[in-house]
Amino acid sequence: MSLFSFLSTNRAIAYYRHSAEDKQENSVAIQREHAQKFASQHQIEIIHEEADEGKSGLSADRAGFQKILMDWVLNDNAPPFEYILVYDVSRWGRFQNPDESAMYEYQCTKRGKKIIFVEKGMPREDQALINHLQTSIERYMAADYSRQLSNKVFFGSVKVSEQGYSAGGTACYGMARLLLDANKQPIRVLKRGEHKQISNERVIFVPMNNDTTQTVRDVFYLCTAESKNPDEIAEILNEKNIPAPHGGSWDRYKILRILSNETYMGSRVYNKTWSRLKQKSRRNPRSEWVVRPNAFEAIVSKEIFEKSQQFLQDYFPVRQKGISFITSKLRHVIRKDLRSLLTKRGIDEDKISMMLRNFPVVFSTKFFRNDVPHWCFSVTEKMRNYESVLAVSIDLNKENYIDDVFCIPTNQFWLSNFLVFSQQDEQYSDFLISGKTIEEKVQQIIDEMDYELRGAELIHNGK
């Protein structure tokens, strides 16, 4: 190569991405072939390549993608280059927010690095507006492809779960995953992390029939037959040196997790939570759960399971008899203070009324176990849509009835929608709020509610 031809050659780095959801024609090898052919046709030298194999494009958390940005685009000491070659917009990423895709592209162009989607060819400067519009549409199409695929997978998983089979995930403590052939005959128990290889095979939960399975039976027995509370059950298991799930010691919450898990009475439960497309997980209301009773062999009977639920309700009183009037009175006081805050923020009356009706506040009287103060708060399914709830402890001996005030993240509540903690637990100091902190937490909840209402208005208005 002559000195003149070397100086006239543009330089580029190339990025390739292939995930399991993509067809073979989008493999890294084929993307590389297209990029090299494009580079040859336009006198471009590829000086570096990065690839992400088997990686979803829903987020930027990809090793190769991050190296492109950090080691080459944003690195002032990187070798000079002009272009970043990518097969198409979807290889750059299937970001659910198209603006996120554009943001990363802007970081590149701001540093003088032009992204070229080789499938579209070299962009013409006199068609910049058309190219921009086309790329914006393709970003949306790339995101929509993942949404459609996610929906197909979800409805397929619902169908499988309705039949009583596992649609993915790991088995709970004391249970195993049994692989079935096309005729629904047992093949073998799957190891942790092992998946079925043939599409018409199925996976079902079964008791592991080892020490962990017996421990589950012991937990329910101690609760229902001996009326042991979760703290006492945890103490008994620890004294016997029985390892807790994933190792470590037993505590109240690990016991509650077992006692509230319907899987142990043979029910296949699916769609408890929503966590798709790399977005924030949320808990679904029970009305959206897919429940198939008697789907597989149970560890405990339905009668024992239901008896344990009744014991927990009796043991952890959310509220005492005769305090309905007090909670109503406190709710009225809280709404009065909230109305004052909302009015100062200039929120209109219709929205104020809606926010007052839905503001997530819960109450509990203090009760004692072994002379230690305890609280048991319960939330509704609707309250789980918020980051946290305001929890008020009631003291019947105080003039205004308010003892302590807590701000509790909703992800701390169990499947049965209640949370129990004592003054000796770490949660007590983590949740406890007072003085100005109360108003700050209330303002945070109001901000969240206002944001949700504004989003609903935009959807309603078709924007």
Report yes or no: 377 and 407 within 8 Å, Cβ to Cβ: no
Measure the CA–CA gap between 177 and 167, rounded to whole angstroms. Answer: 11
Cα R_g (the chain), whole angstroms: 29
Between 240-244, 368-372, 430-434, the lowest mean confidence (pLDDT) is in 368-372
- Residue 441, token pair as written in the block: 């937490």
Domain chopping of the chain, boundaries: 3-147, 163-315, 324-460
Per-residue pLDDT, 415: 65
pLDDT at 281: 65
- Going from the C-alpha of 37 to that of each of 34, 40, 119, the distances in angstroms are 5, 5, 11
Q: Is 123 exposed, middle or buried (0-12, 13-18, 19+ CB in 10 A)?
A: middle
Cβ neighbours of residue 456 closer than 8 Å, sequence gap 6 or more = none
Residue type, 435: G
Count the neighbouring beta carbons within 10 Å of the beta carbon of residue 251: 16
- Tens digits of per-residue pLDDT, 113-133? 999 999 888 887 777 777 777
* 3-state secondary structure (DSSP) of residue 4: helix
Q: What percent of the chain has pLDDT over 90?
A: 40
Separation of alpha carbons 310 and 452, rounded Å: 36
- Summary mean pLDDT of the chain: 85
Backbone angles phi, psi at 456, to 5 degrees: -65, -35
- In the DSSP assignment, the letter for residue 382 is G
Q: What is the average per-residue pLDDT within 263-268?
A: 94
Q: What per-residue confidence (pLDDT) applies to 236?
A: 96
- Supply the pLDDT for residue 319: 47
Query: pLDDT band at 26, cuts 50/70/90?
Result: low
Greater pLDDT, 6 or 155:
155
What's the mean pLDDT in 45-51? 94
Contact of 94 with 146, CB cutoff 8 Å:
yes
Residue matched to tokens 């296949």: 268
What CA–CA distance (Å, rounded) separates 94 from 52? 14
Given CA atoms 244, 246, 251, 255 in this order, what sign does their dihedral have?
negative
Q: Distance between CA atoms of 71 and 454, rounded to whole angstroms?
A: 40
Q: Please state which of the ranges 4-8, 57-61, 199-203, 385-389 shows the lowest mean pLDDT.
A: 4-8
Tell the CATH topology of 163-315: Hect, E3 ligase catalytic domain fold (3.90.1750)
Dihedrals phi, psi of 306, to nearest 5 degrees: -65, -35
What stretch of H or E contains 67? helix 63-67
The DSSP code for 243 is P
Kind and range of the H or E run holding 375: strand 372-378
pLDDT at 6: 43
The DSSP call for residue 279 is: P
* Distance (Å, whole) CA 93 – CA 107: 15
End-to-end CA distance of the chain: 56
Q: What is the DSSP letter of 40?
A: H
Give 387-445 pLDDT, tens digit per residue. 999 999 988 777 788 889 999 999 888 766 788 889 998 889 999 998 878 989 999 99
Q: Which CATH superfamily is domain 3-147 in?
A: Resolvase, N-terminal catalytic domain (3.40.50.1390)
Listed range (30-34, 112-116, 283-287) with the worst mean pLDDT: 283-287
